[in-house]
Amino acid sequence: MGTFDAPWCARHGLEMDDAFYEDVEGWSGPGRLLRVRGSVEAGVPVLITHGTFSDASTCVPIAHFFGQLRPTYVIEWRARDIGWGHVQRFDYTDLAMDELCTAFAHVQALHGGSVHFVAHSGGGLAVLLALALKPDVAQMLRSMTIIAAQATWRNPDWRSRVSVAGMERLGRRIGYWPKRFLPIGPCSEAGTLKSNWVSWTKAGCIFDRDRRDVLAMVRGQKVPSLVLAGAADHDIAPPHACQPIAAALGAQFEVCGTATGHGEDFTHPRIFKSRAAAQTVFPMIADWIAAQ
């Protein structure tokens, strides 16, 4: 499969999705279920999803890598065009039950077996809810890899706390967190979803709508799990904050940085979307998946 060429797409008037992804037949949403065009037909499929403020374009580097190895799909959440006049209200439980569980079942039916799952940031939190609330999800997953996800640590820096508090108030009023104030990714994000995360970090606990401890609910599940953290991810998902998820899942845990053989100490975005990640992080995940 050829390298994704963004300038070529622009010259020919194509959107990224037109050139790189195709919509999966029979999928009715919410969100989008996409397949990497030209990805390998044989093997156990891998489903990839992004985090908050992101969309399918964020997944292009890792999806391109895996598309050369196995059937590769991307789950793009609903409301990637959220903004003034078109607000959608949903939370992590909605993502877990609708986007994730439905996509797992759909791809499982297409390929006749369980699937591998790879998620960055908020996508990793959603799969925890899926496992906690729908135990048979574990039978759909051959493995799962969670990259740079946490919701039990609250950044102690006062500037961060003031910024988050201000954004949450704005999000409650207008229904979303505008991307122009938080240049984390290409999309604005649903205020209800971000309020979910803020409430967890304040409580130091990921809880469901009935306030049950999600990490306690998934403890002892049998899905082989890999949890990765970026050595230079200081503000969003620092390594120590990712460890509770790894411990609850009984996962293999690795901090990705120069001390562990990587080319750089990865930040929150670069562990999922960078040339350096394609050199060491993606191959490490692929090798681990192949062993499951």
Task: Determine whether 142 is exposed, middle or buried from the number of CB atoms within 10 Å of its CB (0-12, 13-18, 19+).
Answer: middle
DSSP 45: -
**Element housing 21 (H / E):** strand 21-23
Quick check: 188 and 176 in contact, CB under 8 A?
yes
What is the Cα–Cα distance from 272 to 277, expressed in whole angstroms? 7
Exposure string (b/e) for 247-260, b if CB count within 10 Å is 16 or more?
Answer: ebbebebbbbbeee
Residue in the structure block whose two tokens are 């070529």: 8
Question: Domains of the chain, with CATH numbers?
Answer: 6-290 (3.40.50.1820)
- Look up the pTM and report it: 0.93
The pLDDT profile of the chain, 292 residues, written as one tens digit per residue, is 333 444 434 444 445 556 799 999 999 889 999 999 999 999 999 999 999 999 999 999 999 999 999 999 999 999 998 888 888 999 999 999 999 999 999 999 999 999 999 999 999 999 999 999 999 999 999 999 999 999 999 998 999 899 999 999 999 999 999 998 887 889 999 999 999 999 999 999 999 999 999 999 999 899 999 999 999 999 999 999 999 999 999 999 999 999 999 999 999 999 999 999 999 999 999 999 999 9
